[in-house]
Structure 1
């Protein structure tokens, strides 16, 4: 049995929008997911060649961490204005342009002759990727039912982990066989091909109701009126903060596990990248699983999304700290896998919280705000701070300290859950009072 998908039932649309076929909805998801894979392949291929760059250019761990973190920094700085522009200019056009920019910048990294040139190339990778996550997820959610929000959000965001798997594993293999420059070049060419396919299949005309809602003057006025509501409740602010802080953990794992296996398990670049890729895959599976669990529990009580997020924060912290305090071996790898599984489980629930707590007219901008928090609080500082700590404490000790950031993330989700409960009780009381007045 297929489900009827009405664009008007979800963010950024109007009630008069025609139905979108199930097949086309899944095609939009598949292509958007594919571009997200390219996004993170271009971002994370760097981590696979850390040992080679460190040796060739004599770089410190802090400089390597900066090369990784600068992409997320640019994403954080630019995601809000570029997503707001996409809400007005057209989301499909914005996505195609973004993919073209990050792909060309990745090819530029392949041609870099120095650390400074590589850093500049990575800056432009971040410029291209700035709005993709927020705008891409807005496009995906616009063609699916509201009841699938956490599942689709978790699955879509998990594309980042799966792209990291491919970027690290394939990048390591290509670098070992042909050199690190070819690793960057292959990722850039893949992104360019996908951008062309996306432009041909996901057109403005096919998504015209969504794009019209973003482009017409009345909608622009409505967008400006709704912008203050991005921060209109304590709960949504806590969702931004909790999600961002927790992303520091999985970002550090994805960035530094290839180097960890290279240094402590004495693996070659290709094997270290492939092994780290398995753990990135586990992170992605955890995102999807937590999103599905959140949607299931949400049908019983909406507040349980917050409970899922809190549980993922606390459990991942305990497991990861324990893992990096153990000696090398199977027990350490088991705890590391379990901690990785839960480290980004907050992604789906947090995205659903934001979608449910902000107006539909500014969905891409709301997700941009979430991306801003994820980038500036987690994805950018996670790898960079770990690199700085590694220069002083050693990489293993640095990875054992970083999971402590899950504590303030937990506090943020606890506060958000409390205010969400208060808001829910107030809403129920208003509904009850309305019912009594109608009865009288």
Structure 2
């Protein structure tokens, strides 16, 4: 009979405990709420691409750069800012970051040319840089480890739902009032959420939700851990590196499709700006639902076999490739949109398993830094290059031709996940042994 080994628990709650305090869910809801604002501020741009193109006579490459500069700044700054947040305090860092991206979004509405808009978008990226990693680390620190894939998938799906809202609401506002009020509306919502979060969530109220051991470790590591030791903890195994790489590359698909779907519908289906934004939002919504469902399914499948998280990630990537490769080659019509929608359901499905695997393979005390590394990989390998590379290719062979190349990214991600799966059992056993030695 095969002996099953438990994955590590974290967050101060036993894996067997079934009750989660109500306040933990309140914190989760508010943290996801800010993530919605984050992506609303980021993705409202895509809804007004056609208007900006006409107003400033921009090329597809320039339009793509306005989207990609946000992910680029996130990729560059997520790690150092997340390390600082581990030391300075996650709650204070979250409030400061949300305030910055909201003000920068307001700056977008005041831009008078491409250069000013690019600068404002860069500051949106600076504000959002460490939010995903710090917010997720805070959430996982107050919930049982058995919920990691579900919570990670749901948290990251907040980005999809925020994108839906940003594109739909932004497109609607832009259609009636223009693109400047669309950015202004996103900024106003962000500032309201910042105020609510600052009042409701405090380190003092979070403390009882964390175990004394994890809290002590976080404090000690956050203050005294050397850079060399931190790097060793973040890149200690082949499987965690594969999780970083696979997660980043597989997100190239949703990033590219989210950015260009309004333009795709506008150019190839003749939809007006507002209608194209609303229709494109449906594809983003499907992606978000897929992230939640796929994350929960991965948790269920891995109850008795820890390697099944990896198998699920591989299956999601291969399914995404197959459906989108077919979808973007079908003639324009209902069938094409249905098949593309089915592919988008799985396009970010590996996000939950990837986050869970990173959490399992790194110490709780450096989870913010670990998720910063995951965020860095997500941005540099997928989110940052997706829109601008698609735009560059589109300027040469057309937008449809560029989108037909995008689905090949998940095949590369599936390869990374396959390598990680082969090393996961050995890596996890070794890490568990080291943790047991440290406790003794």
TM-score (norm 2): 0.91
Corresponding residue to 1:359 among 356, 363, 371: 363
- Which deviates the most, 204-213 or 148-157? 204-213
Corresponding residue to 1:414 among 400, 407, 418: 418
CA distance in 1, matches of 2:226, 2:284: 37
- CA 1:241–1:132 in 2, change beyond 3 Å: closer, same or farther? same
Q: Does 1:97 align with 2:115?
A: no
Corresponding residue to 2:263 among 245, 248, 259: 259
Q: Note the C-alpha offset of 1:149.
A: 0.4
> 1:323, 1:335 within 8 Å by CA — same for their partners in 2?
yes
- CA 1:205–1:257 in 2, change beyond 3 Å: closer, same or farther? same
- Cα deviation code 1:130-186 (max 9, x no counterpart): 010000011111111110000000000000000000000101000010000000000
> 2:249, 2:409 within 8 Å by CA — same for their partners in 1?
yes
- Cα deviation code 1:90-120 (max 9, x no counterpart): 0000000000000000000000000000000
CA distance in 1, matches of 2:428, 2:86: 30
**Residue number in structure 2 paired with 1:436:** none
**Residue number in structure 2 paired with 1:338:** 342
CA distance in 1, matches of 2:247, 2:48: 28
- Which deviates the most, 403-412 or 158-167? 403-412
Cα RMSD, aligned residues only: 2.2
- CA 1:90–1:212 in 2, change beyond 3 Å: closer, same or farther? farther
- Cα deviation code 1:394-431 (max 9, x no counterpart): 11111111111112111111111111144467799x89
**Residue number in structure 1 paired with 2:166:** 167
**Residue number in structure 2 paired with 1:59:** 58
**Residue number in structure 2 paired with 1:220:** 223
CA distance in 2, matches of 1:309, 1:293: 11
TM-score (norm 1): 0.91
Corresponding residue to 1:314 among 318, 328, 334: 318
Q: Equivalent residue of 1:290, what SS?
A: helix
Q: Does 1:404 align with 2:408?
A: yes
1:159-238 alignment to 2 at 5 Å? Answer: 159-208=158-207, 213=216, 216=219, 219-222=222-225, 225-238=229-242
- Cα deviation code 1:3-40 (max 9, x no counterpart): xxxxx9624x699xxx9962101100110010000000
- Which deviates the most, 129-138 or 416-425? 416-425
**Residue number in structure 1 paired with 2:391:** 387
- Which deviates the most, 263-272 or 209-218? 209-218
- Which deviates the most, 205-214 or 281-290? 205-214
- CA 1:292–1:21 in 2, change beyond 3 Å: closer, same or farther? closer
> 2:86, 2:369 within 8 Å by CA — same for their partners in 1?
yes
Q: Note the C-alpha offset of 1:204.
A: 2.1
Structure 2: state its 5+ residue gaps: 1-7, 435-440
Q: Equivalent residue of 1:276, what SS?
A: helix
> 2:307, 2:425 within 8 Å by CA — same for their partners in 1?
yes
Q: Equivalent residue of 1:206, what SS?
A: helix
Q: Equivalent residue of 1:194, what SS?
A: helix
CA distance in 1, matches of 2:134, 2:281: 26
CA distance in 2, matches of 1:81, 1:237: 19
CA distance in 1, matches of 2:291, 2:240: 20
**Residue number in structure 2 paired with 1:10:** 10
> How many pairs does the alignment contain?
419
CA distance in 2, matches of 1:69, 1:102: 15
Structure 1: state its 5+ residue gaps: 1-7, 432-440
**Residue number in structure 1 paired with 2:4:** none
| 4+ long deviations beyond 2 Å | 8-11, 208-219, 222-227, 421-428
**Residue number in structure 2 paired with 1:130:** 129
Q: Note the C-alpha offset of 1:82.
A: 0.5
- CA 1:227–1:424 in 2, change beyond 3 Å: closer, same or farther? closer
